[in-house]
Amino acid sequence: MTKKIITFTFFLCIFFSIYFFMNYYVYNSIIAGIRATGWISAMLAILMIIGSSCFILGQVLKRRYYVYWIGYIGHLWLGVLAIAITVLLLKDLLLLFANLNPKTATYAAMAFIFAVNLLAFYNAAKGPQVKEVEVAFSNLPEEISDFKIVQLSDIHLGMFTSKKWVESLVDKVNRLNPDIVVITGDMIDDHLARVKDFVIIMRSIESLLGVYAVSGNHEFYTGIETFYNFAEEANIKVLKDEGQEIGEYIQLIGLQDKMLRKYDQTAPKLEEILKDCNPQKITILLSHQPIDFEKAVEKGVNLQLSGHTHQGQIPPMNFIVAMFYRYSYGLYKYRDAYIYTTSGTGTWGPPMRLFTSSEIVKLILKNK
């Protein structure tokens, strides 16, 4: 218990230090750039204190209280802050190497930040778009050529999700006439009381061979039993480090998120889960995070479906995600196997996306 408290305290110290620095840097860069004093400086300080406080308060209070507007403004602020610090860092770097007027450059950066934030908000508000991906195998039986898999991931059902949005999502999925639907983690991101109204909507997903899901890291943050209860009521089969035969030619393997292994050292490892793979069948691995792909292929996996990265969602995370994850977004091939990492169906935190879009993935299995 003492170790957990120390770890958590250390995490909070690091987080608040980074968060304070981000807010201060944005404030100082603008004030210094436009040489603001007096009431302008004070108004910007008040605005930033309110915005930054909303995010902290929203995170603390939402566990016990319904704080929609505080939380929503806080999440918006986080997105505005992330984009602002990216643009202002680039502006300050540019001033080091170019003979520009700092005041003009700062005003231009502020206008650009405003426009980019509006674009990011609009891009996310459009909702998930259907992306069709063909995956060709040399050993695919003719009987399942054109087999359709619809992949959802990172839906993040919670306080800020509307029934209308979920109904639209399910309608788009059903129009694709999938053979199977898979949800690769982070389906819910709140208490059961706040997501229970979505159960009946998610239960209306139509799929010839069922709907399957695996846990993501946010299911463990929220409470894994909440996820299990939601999925059971929504008629979604959760695969917990286990396999599932799908018809005669496909086996589905569901890997629980690696967060489980932080809490349970006895949880089976990837090698143990995949040891019974039938090489005569197409093996599809559902894994929330796009990791251990080559290892999975060595054990007989033909296709891995992952999410988690959101393709960064907004700067600077777009660039950070690409640095940390080799398979950060899209379709990749290793030997005769593939991994598809989706940008996610919903959003986490800021309801914003830049240089990326939310998506519903329609994968079609083909013969080479």
Is 80 exceeded by the pLDDT of residue 4?
no
Three-state SS letters, the chain: CHHHHHHHHHHHHHHHHHHHHHHHHHHHHHHHHHCCCHHHHHHHHHHHHHHHHHHHHHHHHCCCCCCHHHHHHHHHHHHHHHHHHHHHHHHHHHHHHCCCCHHHHHHHHHHHHHHHHHHHHHHHHCCCEEEEEEEEECCCCHHHCCEEEEEECCCCECCCCCHHHHHHHHHHHHHCCCCEEEEECCCECCCHHHHHHHHHHHCCCCCCCCEEEECCHHHHHHCHHHHHHHHHHCCCEECCCEEEEECCCEEEEEECCCHHHHHCCCCCCHHHHHCCCCCCCEEEEEECCCCCHHHHHHCCCCEEEECCCHHHCCCCHHHHHHHHCCCCCEEEEECCEEEEECCCCCCCCCCCCCCCCCEEEEEEEEEC
pLDDT tens digits for 286-321? 999 999 999 999 999 999 999 999 999 999 999 999
Find the mean pLDDT for residues 52-69.
Answer: 87
Find the mean pLDDT for residues 70-75.
Answer: 93
The predicted structure's pLDDT at residue 104? 93
> How far is the C-alpha of 284 from the C-alpha of 16, rounded, in Å?
40
Find the mean pLDDT for residues 143-158.
Answer: 95
CATH 3.60.21.10 in the chain, residue ranges: 129-367
The predicted structure's pLDDT at residue 89? 95
> How far is the C-alpha of 271 from the C-alpha of 252, rounded, in Å?
15
Is 70 exceeded by the pLDDT of residue 3?
no
CATH architecture for the domain at 129-367: 4-Layer Sandwich (3.60)
Lowest mean pLDDT among 51-65, 117-131, 141-155, 327-341: 51-65
Percent of the chain with pLDDT over 70: 98
Find the mean pLDDT for residues 23-48.
Answer: 90
The pLDDT confidence band at residue 279, using thresholds 50, 70 and 90, is confident
The predicted structure's pLDDT at residue 219? 93
The predicted structure's pLDDT at residue 99? 86
Is 90 exceeded by the pLDDT of residue 266?
no
The predicted structure's pLDDT at residue 275? 83
pTM of the model: 0.93
| Average confidence score pLDDT of the chain | 92
pLDDT tens digits for 207-223? 999 999 999 999 998 88
The pLDDT confidence band at residue 269, using thresholds 50, 70 and 90, is confident
The predicted structure's pLDDT at residue 1? 56
The predicted structure's pLDDT at residue 265? 61
Find the mean pLDDT for residues 75-93.
Answer: 95
